[in-house]
A and B are shown apart, each in its own frame.
Chain A
Amino acid sequence: MQSKDSFIQFVFSHKRPSILIVFAVLVLAGCRYPVNIERPIADMHGGELNIGLSENPPWVINTDQGPAGLEVEIVRALAEKMNATINWHWGSEGNLLAALSQYQLDLVIGGLTQDSNVSALAAPTKAYYQSHYSVGVPEGISLPSNLEGVEVAVPVINHIAHALKKEGAIPRPTPDLGTHNEAVTNPSWWLHAHNYQIGDWEIATDHHVMALPKGENAWMLAVQRHLNSYPDIEQRLQHLEAGR
């Protein structure tokens, strides 16, 4: 108990002036609370933003005219708000996240979803959009009443085959999805963009995030506010998908 008593004494009697100063600093800092640990946010306003990006349509698309895609649009709008110029850095997700963890980048995008790889090296934002995977059929075909034993086309490379099997369906990896008359499992924005009727099965959900350096809490707040107020993400995704 003695150590606690001396702690109380320390707080309340001995060092009262210095404690008051600490509180005063905190209150003054409150106007710009929180602050970044590594790169001051004032540096970013009107400065340069280093954005790492890896291709992953429709989130990030590498075109002849430079980067495009939903997340590129979101970041451009943010930079415009902050009066900042963007340096784009293409790379693989792994390399970009490693560079981010060493504070060489300010943000990494590329259709990242919530997972432990991202949170090990970076501070992910809260999910700004959720892709719901469902089963859809082209117009003119009726939706199956249940998925038991139904063959469903999926992208050749996918992460939903397991979830689909659990529903009893038979996933069939198919190139050129959307060109045949068959049931398809894909995110709802894809199914909408291809004018599919959508069933009410929830096969899987991707939680989309962007990756920030750890500890950059003012920057995180700015990015999160921007993401939360960004309008019409679903429509934009459908538009991007339909335009491909």
Chain B
Amino acid sequence: MKIRELYRLPPDKQRDLNYLIRLEWWNLAFRISIVSILALVLGNSQAMKVAWLEDMLSLIPPIAFLLAVRFRKRPPNQTYPYGYQRATIIAFLCTATALSAMGLFLLGDSLLKLVQQEHPSIGAITLFGETIWMGWLMVGVLIYSVIPPVIIGHLQTKAAAKVHEKTVFADGKRSKADWMTGLAAIVGVLGVGAGFWWADAVAAAIIALDVTKDGITNLKEAIGDLLDRRPHFTSQDKPEHLEEALEAELCAMPWVAAASVRLREEGPIFSGEAFVTPHSNDDLARHLKQASRHLNNYDWRIYEVVVTAWPNEEHSLSPANANPT
């Protein structure tokens, strides 16, 4: 059996990844602190409940990423000859499913509260001998809950784009936008204090809608990866035209008459096949191996491109790829 070699990041990218891992540990620590503090002041507010559950869900992406990174280090073996790179996609799919399901549930729950015209009670709390309205405390905690995610979110998206870590990039994008859900919850709590019973449930529904939207966007992305969609770079919606670049590389080799390439994503990295029509069969095996090595070193994101030779008549190449002799 031919088992793949272990994928190794170039040293500078490995440094970037190590930084990202450290960042995710910080992210996790802040998220846990937010969830614990919010839990203390939940009260009866639906908006607070939804904001809290959203923050609970936001624990999953860093945990999933940190687990996946650990898992990915294992070398490919007899049982898993293709290696463990796709562990990240599994983590991504889990996160997206949890987000979508929870978002829909919370949306239904909030709309039900709206239909039932439930009047939220936000009680009082005694702090240092003074009894104050709990709403003030909730607002304070909500303000705390949005500041670290916004800062970490900015760092995350930058660092994740460098090493093409989609899960973290998506999480960072969510964190950057997190202040809006925090603001919605604050408006909801203050609205209840001002005597508008619906403010709380409406704010909760808006947050739930946002969670659902994020979930579905990520779900699409994860399914795309699992269906071997052509690679998209982290920060872009359009496909990366890496295939064309590789075809040009192959066509530039003197022994190649025509070439075509297809790629797929395996977590943060790309693999695929190249089909080459040679001018002659001289030294073909060696040429193929060299071509494969060349392509694998062309870009750090490329894990393994297998190069195979195809006879001319069977090669349905576009004219652009033809290399006339």
Taking a contact as CB atoms under 8 Å apart, the answer to whether A35 and B195 are in contact is yes
Q: Closest residue of chain B to A8, judged by CB? A: B180
A158 and B188 alpha carbons, distance in the complex (Å):
42
**Chain A residues whose C-beta falls within 8 Å of the C-beta of B118 in the assembled complex:** 214
- Is B276 positioned at the interface, with any CB of A under 8 Å from its CB? no
**Chain B residues whose C-beta falls within 8 Å of the C-beta of A36 in the assembled complex:** 195
- Is B25 positioned at the interface, with any CB of A under 8 Å from its CB? no
Q: Which of B119, B122, B213 contacts A38, CB < 8 Å?
A: B119
- Is B124 positioned at the interface, with any CB of A under 8 Å from its CB? yes
Q: Which of A33, A38, A214, A228 contacts B120, CB < 8 Å?
A: A214
**Chain B residues whose C-beta falls within 8 Å of the C-beta of A7 in the assembled complex:** 180
> Taking the nearest CB of chain A, how far is it from the CB of B311, in angstroms?
48
Q: Closest residue of chain A to B195, judged by CB? A: A35
- Is B325 positioned at the interface, with any CB of A under 8 Å from its CB? no
> Taking the nearest CB of chain B, how far is it from the CB of A6, in angstroms?
12
Among B173, B194, B196, B197, the one with the most A-chain Cβ atoms within 10 Å of its Cβ is B194
Q: Which of B126, B190, B195 contacts A228, CB < 8 Å?
A: B126
- Is A60 positioned at the interface, with any CB of B under 8 Å from its CB? no
Q: Which of B119, B193, B195 contacts A214, CB < 8 Å?
A: B119
A3 and B217 alpha carbons, distance in the complex (Å):
13
B176-208 interface code vs A (CB 8 A; 1 in, 0 out): 010010000000001011111100000000000
A200-244 interface code vs B (CB 8 A; 1 in, 0 out): 000000000000111111001100110010000000000000000
Taking a contact as CB atoms under 8 Å apart, the answer to whether B131 and A25 are in contact is no
Taking a contact as CB atoms under 8 Å apart, the answer to whether A214 and B121 are in contact is yes
**Chain B residues whose C-beta falls within 8 Å of the C-beta of A25 in the assembled complex:** 194
Total interface residues on A, using CB and 8 Å? 28
> Taking the nearest CB of chain B, how far is it from the CB of A121, in angstroms?
12
Taking a contact as CB atoms under 8 Å apart, the answer to whether A217 and B131 are in contact is no
> Taking the nearest CB of chain A, how far is it from the CB of B216, in angstroms?
13
Taking a contact as CB atoms under 8 Å apart, the answer to whether A220 and B180 are in contact is no
> Taking the nearest CB of chain A, how far is it from the CB of B135, in angstroms?
6
Among B119, B135, B213, the one with the most A-chain Cβ atoms within 10 Å of its Cβ is B119
> Taking the nearest CB of chain B, how far is it from the CB of A136, in angstroms?
31
- Is B133 positioned at the interface, with any CB of A under 8 Å from its CB? yes
Given A26-B190, A34-B133, A225-B131, A217:B121 Cβ within 8 A: yes
Q: Closest residue of chain A to B187, judged by CB? A: A22
**Chain B residues whose C-beta falls within 8 Å of the C-beta of A3 in the assembled complex:** 213
Q: Which of B125, B126, B192, B213 contacts A217, CB < 8 Å?
A: B192
Q: Closest residue of chain B to A222, judged by CB? A: B124
Taking a contact as CB atoms under 8 Å apart, the answer to whether B124 and A224 are in contact is yes
A148 and B195 alpha carbons, distance in the complex (Å):
55
**Chain B residues whose C-beta falls within 8 Å of the C-beta of A45 in the assembled complex:** none
**Chain B residues whose C-beta falls within 8 Å of the C-beta of A214 in the assembled complex:** 44, 118-121
- Is A37 positioned at the interface, with any CB of B under 8 Å from its CB? yes
**Chain A residues whose C-beta falls within 8 Å of the C-beta of B190 in the assembled complex:** 26
Given A221-B131, A228-B131, A212:B194 Cβ within 8 A: no
Given A214-B118, A214-B119, A224-B123, A35:B193 Cβ within 8 A: yes
Taking a contact as CB atoms under 8 Å apart, the answer to whether B124 and A215 are in contact is no
Taking a contact as CB atoms under 8 Å apart, the answer to whether A37 and B119 are in contact is yes
Within 8 A of B (CB), among A4-30: 4, 7-8, 25-26, 29
A74 and B126 alpha carbons, distance in the complex (Å):
19
A126 and B122 alpha carbons, distance in the complex (Å):
11
Q: Which of A33, A123, A126, A213 contacts B193, CB < 8 Å?
A: A33
**Chain B residues whose C-beta falls within 8 Å of the C-beta of A29 in the assembled complex:** 193-194
Taking a contact as CB atoms under 8 Å apart, the answer to whether A34 and B121 are in contact is no
**Chain A residues whose C-beta falls within 8 Å of the C-beta of B177 in the assembled complex:** 4
B120-144 interface code vs A (CB 8 A; 1 in, 0 out): 1111111000010101000000000
Taking a contact as CB atoms under 8 Å apart, the answer to whether A225 and B197 are in contact is no
**Chain A residues whose C-beta falls within 8 Å of the C-beta of B173 in the assembled complex:** 1
A38 and B192 alpha carbons, distance in the complex (Å):
12
- Is A50 positioned at the interface, with any CB of B under 8 Å from its CB? no
Given A4-B180, A225-B131, A228-B131, A123:B194 Cβ within 8 A: no
Taking a contact as CB atoms under 8 Å apart, the answer to whether A220 and B123 are in contact is yes
Taking a contact as CB atoms under 8 Å apart, the answer to whether B123 and A123 are in contact is yes
**Chain B residues whose C-beta falls within 8 Å of the C-beta of A8 in the assembled complex:** 180
In the complex, 15 of the A-B residue pairs with CB atoms within 8 angstroms, ordered by the A residue number, are A3-B213, A33-B193, A34-B135, A34-B192, A37-B119, A126-B124, A213-B119, A215-B120, A215-B121, A216-B121, A217-B133, A217-B193, A224-B124, A224-B131, A228-B131
Q: Given known contacts A217-B192, A225-B124, what 14 new A-B pairs fall within 8 Å (CB)?
A: A26-B194, A33-B133, A34-B192, A34-B194, A35-B194, A35-B195, A37-B196, A212-B121, A214-B44, A217-B135, A217-B193, A220-B121, A221-B133, A228-B126
Interface of B with A (CB < 8 Å)? 44, 118-126, 131, 133, 135, 173, 177, 180, 190, 192-197, 213
Nearest 4 pairs between A and B by C-beta?
A: A215-B119, A34-B193, A123-B121, A224-B124
